Amino acid sequence: MESLQALIEQIVTARTLITASFSQLRSKGEATYSKVQIKPVELKGKLHYQFAYFTGPKVEHRNIPEEQAAEEMMALLRATFRQALVCTAEADYQVLISKKFKVSVLTKSPTKKTAGSLAHNRKKQYVLDEGEPVPFLVELGIMNAEGKVLAKKYDKFRQINRFLEMVEDVLADLPSGRPLTIVDFGCGKSYLTFALYHYLAVRERRELSIVGLDLKADVIAHCSELADKLGYDKLRFLVGDIAEYNELEQVDMVVTLHACDTATDAALEKAVRWGASVILSVPCCQHELFGQIDNDVLSPLLSHGILKERFSALATDAIRAKLLDLVGYRTQLLEFIDMEHTPKNILIRAVKSPSGDQAAKWREYAAFRDFLGAKPYLERALEGRLPAGQAVE
Ligand SMILES: C[S@@+](CC[C@H](N)C(=O)[O-])C[C@H]1O[C@@H](n2cnc3c(N)ncnc32)[C@H](O)[C@@H]1O
């Protein structure tokens, strides 16, 4: 059965399946479906597999995300069916499974053509490819030694790739011709810190040093051990508070992903003080504005806790983006990962660039801040760098 499993997984991973049909029940007495047909479908822009389970004249459909499709197919082939016809873009596979689970696979020329929007090989081009073992992903338990991503780690794999796409987009904005200094504030278990090191130092062969900083001593000790094991000798992990970190004079890129509340602001302030060329920040929980916002006009919205919380979080990010604009950054807010995985999915990407009309931007910012009755931490922290005499008390 292992070779069959490998074949099914390879077909699903390569996204070449056109249709599959499973038949011939292993046990006729079993009250179960008599046949299952499978085809790829796109739902909300994502590849799924539609399983049609036939019981007499009835058919029940289930749409299964691609990460779970191979597992479901193998479960059916192990327990229920002894015959399968799997049609892919490359070949048709006629599968026979004996009563004693001996598998024979006959490979024939393809008889089915791909059709519609799923016609083309839709394999997503990730920065890190599945099938190619990457040492840090293997060590972190995201891939196995053969490079296969574990089903329950697929979201993490996608998040890492999404993050690296964002980094890829700003490569040209980083200084060249000298080693880079990068800090990851609130690095936690450091999946993304290791990813950044792998991508920049190992793959792109950039000379650099990266510091990961976090409050949690045990987590940092574990990350340090892993960096040693991987031979990532320019990746250091330190225990400390973002607001008190004063080790470096100059930093080229600051990353801060899901650091809590105003820890994100402390990180942004440090980045601005260093004149970092690039800032990548995904804020986490945001409590500061929630306690400050006060405006009668907004009371229909602010009187509902859940709406007030969401609104405060969005307003906080708008304020951060505008303040970064005001101190000389071109700032974008991007979707980090799908909303369905976490609502904390906005990435602030700021790239140092010449500023436009600061006075007009300041007026816009101050009007927004005053309307909300907000006294943002970041504005106070950036005092002296903002247009003179306007910071809040
Ligand atoms: C939700 S985790 C995110 C970890 C990682 N950046 C990621 O995105 O997977 C937030 C981390 O920020 C750290 N943190 C929160 N406030 C901090 C502060 N003031 N200084 C340093 N680390 C902080 C926490 O200890 C925690 O490990």
Q: What is the pLDDT of residues 91-150, one digit of tens each?
A: 899 999 998 999 999 998 888 876 544 544 444 567 888 888 899 999 999 999 988 999
What separation in Å is there between the alpha carbon of 238 and the centre of ligand 1? 12
Mean pLDDT over 254-272 rounds to: 89
Radius of gyration of the chain (CA): 26
Residues 275-327: pLDDT tens digits?
Answer: 999 999 988 777 788 889 999 999 999 999 999 999 998 999 999 999 999 99
What separation in Å is there between the alpha carbon of 292 and the centre of ligand 1? 24
Rounded to whole angstroms, the Cα distance separating 119 from 10 reads 18
Which residues pair with residue 348 across a beta bridge? 281, 333
The reply to whether ligand 1 has any atom less than 6 angstroms from the CB of 213 is yes
- Quick check: helix, strand or coil at residue 30? coil
- CA nearest to 252, candidates 317, 327, 170: 170
Return the percentage of the chain with pLDDT > 90, whole number.
Answer: 57
The tokens for 19 are: 């249709």
The reply to whether ligand 1 has any atom less than 6 angstroms from the CB of 160 is no
Degrees to nearest 5, angle at CA 155 with 126 and 264: 95
Q: What is the mean pLDDT of the chain?
A: 88
Q: Best of 187, 211, 214, 219 to mutate for ligand 1, by most ligand atoms within 8 A of CB?
A: 214
Rounded to whole angstroms, the Cα distance separating 381 from 357 reads 22
| Residue carrying the six token digits 């820890």 | 263
What separation in Å is there between the alpha carbon of 254 and the centre of ligand 1? 14
Cα–Cα separations (whole angstroms), residue 158 to 134, 153, 319, 341: 14, 9, 29, 11
The reply to whether ligand 1 has any atom less than 6 angstroms from the CB of 216 is yes
- Quick check: helix, strand or coil at residue 69? helix
- Quick check: helix, strand or coil at residue 257? strand
Which atom of ligand 1 has the smallest separation from the CA of 245? Answer: 20
The tokens for 93 are: 């596979």
Q: What are phi and psi of 20, to 5 degrees?
A: -140, 145
The reply to whether ligand 1 has any atom less than 6 angstroms from the CB of 344 is no
Rounded to whole angstroms, the Cα distance separating 383 from 283 reads 21
Rounded to whole angstroms, the Cα distance separating 268 from 279 reads 8
pLDDT of residue 248: 93
Contact 348, 320 (CB under 8 A): yes
The tokens for 78 are: 């192990």
What separation in Å is there between the alpha carbon of 148 and the centre of ligand 1? 29
* pLDDT for 361 beyond 70: yes
| Residue carrying the six token digits 């900083």 | 213
- Quick check: helix, strand or coil at residue 363? helix
Q: What are phi and psi of 115, to 5 degrees?
A: -140, 160
The tokens for 44 are: 């909300």
The tokens for 360 are: 């007009």
The answer to whether the Cα torsion of 290, 291, 294, 298 is positive or negative is: positive
Amino acid, single-letter form, for residue 353: S
pLDDT of residue 339: 47
The reply to whether ligand 1 has any atom less than 6 angstroms from the CB of 257 is yes
Contact 253, 174 (CB under 8 A): yes
Rounded to whole angstroms, the Cα distance separating 34 from 40 reads 21
Q: Best of 182, 190, 194, 215 to mutate for ligand 1, by most ligand atoms within 8 A of CB?
A: 215
The tokens for 304 are: 């509902």
* pLDDT for 78 beyond 60: yes
* pLDDT for 391 beyond 90: no
The reply to whether ligand 1 has any atom less than 6 angstroms from the CB of 347 is no
Please indicate whether residue 249 or residue 132 has the higher confidence score (pLDDT).
249
Rounded to whole angstroms, the Cα distance separating 372 from 281 reads 23
DSSP structure class, residue 131: T
* pLDDT for 161 beyond 70: yes
Q: Would the pTM of this model clear 0.75, i.e. be above it?
A: no
Contact 65, 52 (CB under 8 A): no
- Quick check: helix, strand or coil at residue 106? strand
Rounded to whole angstroms, the Cα distance separating 349 from 315 reads 16
What separation in Å is there between the alpha carbon of 245 and the centre of ligand 1? 14
